[in-house]
Amino acid sequence: MQISKSKLKAKLLEYLRLAESQEEEIIITDHGKPVLKISKYTVSPTTEELFSPMRGKVQYFEDLTTPTTDEWGEI
């Protein structure tokens, strides 16, 4: 949904509730050009939450801290 700054000013609370309840982004425009985005805040998962299913399943066959500069050659 796109609205102008002037419409946003007149009905800010209404648009904030709309973005919160429907998880719809609202693009704010100034003279037809997008300048801001209002969207519902979501909490990103932590690294632990993302990778916990892989814990104990990954195998390392060499030291991960070994330099790889020889593999890349001259860049």
pLDDT in tens, 40-67: 888 889 999 999 998 889 888 888 888 8
Which residues is 29 bridged to in the sheet? 4, 34
- Six-digit token pair at 58? 């990954």
- Six-digit token pair at 2? 């796109």
Q: Does residue 53 lie within any of the structural domains? A: yes
CATH of the domain at 38: 3.40.1620
Question: pLDDT of 19-43, one tens digit each?
Answer: 888 878 899 999 999 999 988 888 8
CB 67 within 8 A of CB 73: no
pLDDT given for residue 75 in this prediction: 63
Q: Does residue 20 lie within any of the structural domains? A: yes
When divided into structural domains, the chain yields a total of 1
Q: Does residue 73 lie within any of the structural domains? A: no
Domain of residue 60: give its range: 2-65
pLDDT given for residue 46 in this prediction: 92
Q: Does residue 71 lie within any of the structural domains? A: no
